[in-house]
Amino acid sequence: MGYVKDKFKAVADEQAKEIKNIIAEHGEMVLDKVTIAQAYQGMRGIPGLITETSLLDSNEGIRFRGYSIPELREKLPHAEGGSEPLPEGLFYLMLTGEVPTQENVEHISATWARRSHVPNHVFATIEALPVSTHPMTQFSIAVLALQTESKFAKAYEEGISKKEYWDYVYEDTMTLIARLPRIAAYIYRRKYKNGEHIQPDGMLDWSANFAHMLGFDNHSFAELMRLYLTIHSDHEGGNVSAHATHLVGSALSDPYLSFAAGMTGLAGPLHGLANQEVIRWIEELQENLGTLEPSKEQIAQYIKDTLAAGKVVPGYGHAVLRKTDPRFTAQMEFAKTHCPENPTVKTVWNVYEVAPAILESTGKIKNPWPNVDAHSGALLKHYGLVEEDFYTVLFGVSRALGVLASLCWDRALGFPIERPKSMTTEWVQKFIAKSQATA
Residues that bind ligand CMX (CB under 6 A): 239, 270-272, 274, 307, 312-319, 364-367, 371-373
Q: What are residue 201's phi and psi, to 5 degrees?
A: -115, 105
Please report how close the Cβ of residue 437 comes to ligand CMX at its closest, in angstroms.
32
Helices 274-289 and 343-361, axial angle in degrees (round to 10) = 100
Amino acid at 325: D
Closest residue to ligand CMX using C-beta atoms: 317
Please report how close the Cβ of residue 328 comes to ligand CMX at its closest, in angstroms.
10
Residue 145 or residue 401: which is nearer to ligand CMX going by CB? Answer: 401
Residue 33 or residue 364: which is nearer to ligand CMX going by CB? Answer: 364
DSSP letter for each residue of 379-439: HHHHTT---GGGHHHHHHHHHHHHHHHHHHHHHHTT----------HHHHHHHHHHHHHH-
The residues with which 370 forms a beta bridge, in sequence order, are 316
- The CA-to-CA distance between both ends of the chain, in Å, stands at 61
Please report how close the Cβ of residue 360 comes to ligand CMX at its closest, in angstroms.
11
Of 44, 15, 433, which Cα lies nearest the Cα of 238? 44
Q: Cβ neighbours of residue 326 under 8 Å, at least 6 residues apart?
A: 60, 61, 62, 68, 69, 70
Does the active-site annotation cover 318? yes
> Running DSSP on this structure, what letter comes out for residue 164?
G
Please report how close the Cβ of residue 392 comes to ligand CMX at its closest, in angstroms.
9
Please report how close the Cβ of residue 357 comes to ligand CMX at its closest, in angstroms.
13
Residue 115 or residue 322: which is nearer to ligand CMX going by CB? Answer: 322
| Residue 416: other Cβ atoms inside 10 A | 7
Alpha-carbon distance of 119 to 178, in angstroms, equals 13
Does the active-site annotation cover 410? no
| Residue 60: other Cβ atoms inside 10 A | 13
Q: What are residue 133's phi and psi, to 5 degrees?
A: -55, 135
Please report how close the Cβ of residue 151 comes to ligand CMX at its closest, in angstroms.
31
The residues with which 62 forms a beta bridge, in sequence order, are 56
Residue 292 or residue 320: which is nearer to ligand CMX going by CB? Answer: 320
Given the residues 78, 212, 243, 318, select the one marked as catalytic.
318
Does the active-site annotation cover 271? yes
Q: Count CA atoms closer than 13 A to 380's CA, side-chain side.
A: 27
Query: Catalytic positions, please?
Result: 271, 318, 373
